Chains A and B, each alone.
Chain A
Amino acid sequence: MDEIDIESAINDVDIDNDEEVQLSLPEIIQLMEENWLNEKFSPEVLPNRMDIVELLLDQITTLENNLKKLSNADFKKGLYQMEVDRIRFLISSYLRKRLEKIETYSTVILEQEKSRVQQGSETYLSQNELEFAQEYDQSIREHFESIMRFCPGITETQLINPNLHTMVFLKSKEDIEGIVIDDGNDENDLIDLNKGSQVLISYKSVNNFVKSGNVHLI
Chain B
Amino acid sequence: MFAEKACNLIKELSRCEEVLPPYHTELVKEVCTEIKQLHEQNKEDGAIVANESSIAGYANALYPTLRIGSSAVKRNVRCLLAYHYNRLKTLRTMRWEFGSILPQDIKTNLSSDEIEWFTKYSRSFAKYMTSIGENGLNLCLDLRPPKSLYIEVKCLMDYGKFELSDGTILLLKKDSRHYLPRSECEELITQGVFQHIV
Do A139 and B137 have beta carbons less than 8 Å apart? no
Q: Is B14 an interface residue (CB 8 A)?
A: no
Do A92 and B128 have beta carbons less than 8 Å apart? no
Residues of B close to A86: CB separation below 8 A: 145-146
Q: Is B176 an interface residue (CB 8 A)?
A: no
Do A57 and B39 have beta carbons less than 8 Å apart? no
Residues of B close to A95: CB separation below 8 A: 132, 137, 139
Residues of B close to A89: CB separation below 8 A: 142, 144-146
Do B139 and A139 have beta carbons less than 8 Å apart? no
A-facing residues in B138-157 (Cβ within 8 Å): 138-139, 141-142, 144-146, 149
Q: Is B104 an interface residue (CB 8 A)?
A: no
Q: Is A124 an interface residue (CB 8 A)?
A: no
Do A147 and B120 have beta carbons less than 8 Å apart? no
Interchain CA distance A148-B81 in the complex, whole Å: 9
Identity of the chain B residue whose Cβ is nearest the Cβ of A144 in the assembled complex:
B81
Output the least CB separation between B46 and chain A (Å).
11
Do B84 and A144 have beta carbons less than 8 Å apart? yes
Do A136 and B121 have beta carbons less than 8 Å apart? yes
Interface size class of A (residues with CB under 8 A): 35 or more
Interchain CA distance A61-B132 in the complex, whole Å: 13
Residues of B close to A91: CB separation below 8 A: 137
* Interface locus among A5-13, A153-161, A167-175, A203-211: A153-161
- Name A61's contact: one of B32, B84, B113, B135 (CB within 8 Å): B135
Given A58-B134, A81-B149, A88-B142, is A154 in contact with B81 using a C-beta cutoff of 8 Å?
no
Q: Is A183 an interface residue (CB 8 A)?
A: no
The CB with the most chain A CB atoms within 10 A, among B78, B92, B127, B146, is that of B146
Q: Is A199 an interface residue (CB 8 A)?
A: no
Do A147 and B80 have beta carbons less than 8 Å apart? yes
A-facing residues in B30-83 (Cβ within 8 Å): 32, 35-36, 39, 73-74, 77-78, 80-81
Interchain CA distance A91-B135 in the complex, whole Å: 14
A-B contact pairs, 6 of them (CB 8 A): A58-B134, A99-B128, A143-B84, A146-B113, A147-B113, A156-B77
3 closest residue pairs by CB, A with B: A57-B133, A128-B131, A85-B146
